[in-house]
Amino acid sequence: MARFEIPDGWTAQAYTFALDPTPTQIRAFRSHAGGARKAHNTMLAAVKAVMNQRQAERTYGLDEDELTPALGWSLAGLRKQWNARKHEVAPWWAENSKEAYNSGLDALARGLDAWSTSRKGMRAGKTIGFPRFKTVRSRRSVRFTTGTIGVETDRHHVTLPRLGRIHTCESTRKLARRIEAGTARILSATLSEDSAGRWHVAFQVLVHRAVAVPGHVGEGESVVGVDVGVKADSLIVVATPDGRELDRVPAPKSLTAAQARLRALQRRVARQHGPYDVATETKQKPSKRWITQQRRIGRTHAHAAAVRRDVVHNATTELAQRHRVIAVETLNASGMRSAGGARKRGLNLALSDAALVQVRRMLGYKTTWYGSVLMEAGRYFPSSKLCSGCGRRKPNLALADRMYVCDHCGVTIDRDRNAAINLARLGETHRTGATGTGTGSSPAATDSGGDGRGATRESATTPVVNAAGEEASTRHQQLLGESGTVSSEGEAA
């Protein structure tokens, strides 16, 4: 299947709305999510059974052409096998939309493809494990790609296949106006439940929008550098190449502020949950009060995430609208939290609470909307270790050193401001072409500035792939071919 290409002048954008469903609709939501989980687990069990059977037959000395036929791992192959089994394993399948089962099968197909390509060395990043069975406590989510999908003219209802009209907690006028004007087209809708038990619908929309800055936004500096950190007073530090600090956004620290409440709720949950029954080897069924406490914990986490997301959204929108070139770091946030044990517990919490990667991710698409350019420094560009005064590199800069003191020229400056200035100068030289740092093969609104002067690789190099990705339901079909089957080498690689 060919990859979906976005037409020129259009962009893919998501519109998310909180829902206000009735109890009957909530039961229908959970039924659809349960159908997706059932299809996923059923076909995963079938795939594992065939793989184990083929592996056992190889030990008997059978040739490859004599083995049990392999199941197709493409979405089309899994759907064909599911349709042959659904009458037996799920006699209630007709109660839900076919898109519910397609969602579970698509997730399984992508998981199997990721595991196979990872074992063959064709996938960058960490090793991907074999797909696991989904439990009842797994995140509930269903994706609709066909059927009646849209927003109602009253601006307070959306329509989904088999679920009908659903009331929203907020107005849908922003999306409705674009659809009525012919500048937007809905591609799919994803229904999901968050940790607080609230249901949301996210529309993936193809939008025709002019690349322009709103008229009420004043123009700022043409080139700025943005440094992100975990300190309470410096989540985002913005500086110019000439050394002026333009803005300093404090970190909300919403998760840190909620720790006292979370500790109290989790201790209460531990007392309410029954003990493990050794005789029956089962956990005691949770009580209603235990379930209520779990919902309170989920709402606390959801509130902390919402506060953090609001701060980052406001800051990145202002940056993308006011400045033409924005230089940022390329951080390996997951690697920063991967090791250290108990001694790094506080730092890992601060890194998670800061959501450092969200700044670069949001700037990535907002710069496209407003016509600015996002310049990403190389992974090993030493923005914090370079002196903004003389350009010398200080290799022994500890994380606890909040002030940068140059051993060569004696300049003393705030660590985060120094890093932002270095990033701004890298963005300025890259824009004018004064230095050969190189560019990557990223989208037009994003450039890669290389590692720059004084860069060192203090850890193993990880191959980098284009983050643009593929159409969600076609990547595994492209790798496996039209037949949708996997060879024996793909199973045992």
Query: Quick check: is 376 catalytic?
Result: no
| Contact predicate 422/388, CB 8 Å | yes
| Contact predicate 111/131, CB 8 Å | yes
What is the longest distance spanned by two Cα atoms in the chain? 78
Query: Quick check: is 470 catalytic?
Result: no
Which one of 227, 376, 428, 447 is the catalytic residue? 227
* Length of the chain measured in residues: 493
Provide the token pair at 155.
């601006």
| Contact predicate 33/143, CB 8 Å | no
Q: What is d(CA 138, CA 325) in angstroms, rounded to the nearest whole number?
A: 41
Provide the token pair at 240.
């110019």
Which one of 99, 193, 329, 353 is the catalytic residue? 329
Q: Nearest-5° angle of CA 163, CA 169, CA 174?
A: 95
Query: Quick check: is 66 catalytic?
Result: no
Which one of 416, 428, 447, 451 is the catalytic residue? 416
Q: What is d(CA 243, CA 413) in angstroms, rounded to the nearest whole number?
A: 10
Query: Letter for the amino acid at 402?
Result: R
Provide the token pair at 330.
């390329």
Closest by CA to 129, choosing from 138, 117, 144, 141, is 117
Count the alpha carbons within 13 Å of 418 in the hemisphere toward its beta carbon.
25
**Phi, psi values for residue 85, rounded to 5°:** -110, -15
Q: Active-site positions?
A: 227, 329, 416
